[in-house]
């Protein structure tokens, strides 16, 4: 299966929303809380987003917010987990982020999830709690370079 990674566009948002609502972990308590307008704002004004697609179907996406210095979204269609798609989207996003700013970046995710394990494996440091009991992780540029050999 050939996977193409590219910047997210407004036209991608409906497929991104399908993935966001299909995940088995970090489920939105109220899907109406994240609107298409929110997504557009994040990919076009607050930061940038990327999609992974195969045969013109989006199978994963990531969005980073450079105004608030955080990962807003990183999700892969559950049918395509374990194929390295999340890692590739993560790396594209974090490389881009640190080209924009040297500020530490943070994210929140549910404890005891695949996402928690993923972020720990990729060099994120737990720094406390966020929101409704989520683990708050942080990454700085030096750790990113050291753990991923990215320059």
Indicate the pLDDT class of residue 29, thresholds 50, 70 and 90.
Answer: low
The full set of domain ranges for the chain reads 4-148
Distances (CA, A) of 89 to 12, 62, 130: 15, 6, 23
pTM for the full predicted model: 0.90
pLDDT band at residue 151, thresholds of 50, 70 and 90?
A: very low
Q: What is the pLDDT of residue 147?
A: 79
69: how many CB neighbours lie within 10 A of its CB?
17
Domain boundaries 4-148, CATH class: alpha beta
pLDDT band per the 50, 70, 90 thresholds, residue 41: very high
What digits encode the pLDDT tens for the residues 52-101? 999 999 999 999 999 999 999 999 999 998 999 999 999 999 999 999 99
């Amino acid at each position: 299966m050939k996977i193409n990674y590219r910047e997210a566009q407004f036209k991608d948002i409906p497929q991104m929303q399908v993935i966001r609502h299909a995940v088995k972990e970090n489920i939105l308590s109220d899907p109406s809380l994240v609107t298409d307008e929110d997504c557009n704002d994040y990919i076009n004004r607050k930061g940038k987003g990327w999609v992974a697609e195969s045969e013109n179907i989006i199978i994963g996406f990531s969005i980073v917010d450079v105004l608030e210095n955080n990962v807003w979204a990183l999700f892969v269609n559950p049918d395509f987990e374990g194929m390295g798609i999340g890692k590739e989207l993560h790396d594209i996003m974090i490389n881009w982020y640190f080209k924009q700013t040297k500020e530490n970046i943070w994210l929140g995710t549910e404890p005891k999830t695949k996402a928690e394990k993923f972020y720990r494996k990729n060099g994120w440091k737990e720094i406390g709690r966020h929101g409704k009991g989520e683990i708050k992780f942080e990454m700085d540029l030096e750790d990113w370079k050291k753990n991923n050999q990215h320059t």
